[in-house]
Structure 1
Amino acid sequence: MIMNKFDKLSTFITVVEENGFAAAAKKKGVTTGTISKQIALLESELGVQLLNRTTRQLSLTEIGKTYYEYCKNPLQELELADRVIAESKKEATGTLNILASRYFAITHIIPKLSAFMRLNPRLQINLQLDERFPDLEKEDIDVLFGISIEGTDDLVRRRVAKTRYTLCASPQYLKKFGTPLLPADLQKHHLISHMMRKPNNIIHFINDESIKVEPALFLNDTFAMRECALLGNGIVNLHDFLVADALKEGKLVELLSDFQLPEMNVYLYYKQSRYKVLKIRKFIDYFVGI
């Protein structure tokens, strides 16, 4: 009964939008008589006349206009939902190129990849683990994970996680060199920094306070920075997901927590023009949706 009603509504919408029974019949692949019969049945059920019929033209009655406005959007949404379901049944193929930092990939991406790969068995994934800002105009990267990445107006970002910077050092280091109590105290300590921080080497705190430091050691890998801190080589300022386990186990101690900035978002980046590509859309929708 409901499906029959939807069929009639769909026919009515098509007649209005195609401006005639013959054009509607052609679009639906049925006879003009079938279209006319469905409209007549719909009008009979409603007890009103929806269309003014003459030999030369077809027009909506006043109540027909109102009915059309109420009906067109739900049917469009239903058709869209049907298309989405049909599209979801298609298989993604080819190669998907993803770029993320090593530790974020280990903690946030790789644990979720197995289920996605089972859903898309014909899709090959290249997950590049690197800590840099790529040129999305020149490099063949479909999806990128990061915090603050600049690009063209076509670059879209979707939030996937939260993080905050955490200053920390090992108990051995603090026993030997003391614990900084104020941001300015960092200038007297051994800092371990990422090479991407050169040449500014500025650490930001709440209330717009910033401290310029001169690190004793530069590395181009956050995992290596963490290991250096664990060995007592100095103080690091790393994302919480990098040091959470070590802090919990007492291998690292958080510093200046009252001065640290609040949480920030981690985003999934992609080019809007590439969202139409099935393999990219499936990955984005899956990863953002879980």
Structure 2
Amino acid sequence: MPDRLTSMAVFVRAADLGSFAAAAAALGMSAQMVAKHVQFLEDRLGTRLLNRTTRRQSLTEFGRAYYQRCRLILAEIEAAEALAQQARAAPRGRLRVNAPVTFGSHSLVPLITRYLRDHPQVQVDLTLSDRLVDPVEEGFEAVLRLGPIGDSSLVARPLAPYRLIACAAPAYLAEHGVPQTPADLARHECLGFAYWTGALRCQWRFSRDGHSHDVGVSGRLQVNDWKGLLRAALEGFGITLGPEAVLTEELATGRLLRVLPDYTGPSRPMHILYAADRRMTPKLRSFIERVVAEFGDPASGVA
């Protein structure tokens, strides 16, 4: 029994070319096989598709309607197969990415170097900036963003929250005392990151046993770069909030001590964003999949 889709393709070609002989030549089969495919469809549908004489053929009224439907079906199949071929294609070309400075330099760059080793035909232009960028206007194909995304026309893939912990140098704690509860932070010099927005700029939230503890904080030093903020903490000037993933070495060596270790520190949502109407090229798709696989949140099922 002929394959129905093959028979549809043969029927469309016969209708386009005007004869079984012409369709047979184009398809590399005999005219008898073309006729067999058309007959199979007619038998299945219970009606004629073509009026055939020894000199010419023409579509019946039903045949014209069926012909249009077949063309749509075959076009959709071709598009689906093209999509699959594109997905299998090797990523190539230049990819422009934007990310926050600290997360980008510490966590994203190692991922990108591994990604580039796996995909030798891709080049990545990574711009690190803590300002809010517009990926469409500024030409970024993918943007890693910390904080709420708000009302956005961009596609946002959620990642694991960016967790912050409070820490300070031993010298500072020896001089000013060790906070025992979040409320104690109100009496301390708290170092601020200039790009923090909203409540995090003047209020730090901690949680324990399902309860949240918000404390108003203040300090005389605001820095717009994490390295500067870290240096101030290491100099013993105050308590700072820092990314947990970035502070591993300072905590391991004892240059900084975690403050309020029994509490969970603040966290900021993180997403990878891209324009909804941007063509999903193999390089963009593979990069997004790599980022989600490494930085996705297992607790939410995004990984």
TM-score (norm 2): 0.69
What code does the residue aligned with 1:92 have?
Answer: R
Return closer, same or farther for 1:225/1:115 CA change in 2, 3 Å cut-off: same
What code does the residue aligned with 1:163 have?
Answer: Y
Indicate the SS of the match to 1:237.
strand
Deviation at 1:255, TM superposition (A): 1.9
Gaps of 5+ in 2: 52-59, 64-72, 295-303
Aligned partners of 2:166 and 2:265 also within 8 Å = no
Could you say which residue in structure 1 is the equivalent of 2:240?
236
Could you say which residue in structure 2 is the equivalent of 1:203?
204
From 263, 271, 275, the equivalent of 2:275 is 271
Could you say which residue in structure 1 is the equivalent of 2:127?
128
Matching of residue 22 in structure 1 with residue 40 in structure 2 = no
Aligned partners of 1:275 and 1:281 also within 8 Å = no
Partner Cα separation in structure 2 for residue 183 and residue 198 of structure 1: 20
Partner Cα separation in structure 1 for residue 91 and residue 181 of structure 2: 56
Return closer, same or farther for 1:139/1:22 CA change in 2, 3 Å cut-off: same
Cα deviation per residue 1:21-52 (whole Å; 9 max; x = unaligned)? 635997xx537754443577x89xxxxx6332
Could you say which residue in structure 2 is the equivalent of 1:281?
285
Partner Cα separation in structure 2 for residue 15 and residue 57 of structure 1: 19
Matching of residue 177 in structure 1 with residue 181 in structure 2 = no
Matching of residue 85 in structure 1 with residue 85 in structure 2 = yes
Matching of residue 260 in structure 1 with residue 264 in structure 2 = yes
Deviation at 1:238, TM superposition (A): 1.7
Return closer, same or farther for 1:228/1:11 CA change in 2, 3 Å cut-off: same
Partner Cα separation in structure 1 for residue 156 and residue 262 of structure 2: 30
Indicate the SS of the match to 1:196.
coil
Q: CA RMSD in A?
A: 3.9
Partner Cα separation in structure 2 for residue 133 and residue 166 of structure 1: 23
Partner Cα separation in structure 2 for residue 236 and residue 35 of structure 1: 78
Partner Cα separation in structure 2 for residue 280 and residue 119 of structure 1: 14
Deviation at 1:13, TM superposition (A): 5.8
Deviation at 1:219, TM superposition (A): 0.6
Gaps of 5+ in 1: 44-48, 60-71
Aligned partners of 2:148 and 2:269 also within 8 Å = no
What code does the residue aligned with 1:89 have?
Answer: A
Matching of residue 11 in structure 1 with residue 44 in structure 2 = no
Deviation at 1:133, TM superposition (A): 1.7
Deviation at 1:186, TM superposition (A): 0.9
**Computing the radius of gyration over CA atoms, which structure comes out larger, 1 or 2?**
2
Aligned partners of 1:162 and 1:265 also within 8 Å = yes
What code does the residue aligned with 2:44 have?
Answer: L
Aligned partners of 2:86 and 2:281 also within 8 Å = no
Could you say which residue in structure 1 is the equivalent of 2:190?
191
Indicate the SS of the match to 2:140.
coil
Deviation at 1:268, TM superposition (A): 1.2
What code does the residue aligned with 2:242 have?
Answer: L
Aligned partners of 1:136 and 1:151 also within 8 Å = no
What code does the residue aligned with 1:193 have?
Answer: G
Partner Cα separation in structure 2 for residue 283 and residue 106 of structure 1: 17
Deviation at 1:215, TM superposition (A): 1.4
Number of residue pairs matched by the alignment: 264
Matching of residue 245 in structure 1 with residue 215 in structure 2 = no
Aligned partners of 1:155 and 1:269 also within 8 Å = yes
Deviation at 1:91, TM superposition (A): 5.2
Q: Percent identity among equivalent residues? A: 22
Cα deviation per residue 1:44-67 (whole Å; 9 max; x = unaligned)? xxxxx63324243668xxxxxxxx
Partner Cα separation in structure 2 for residue 39 and residue 257 of structure 1: 76
What code does the residue aligned with 1:220 have?
Answer: N
Partner Cα separation in structure 2 for residue 153 and residue 163 of structure 1: 20
Aligned partners of 2:205 and 2:265 also within 8 Å = yes
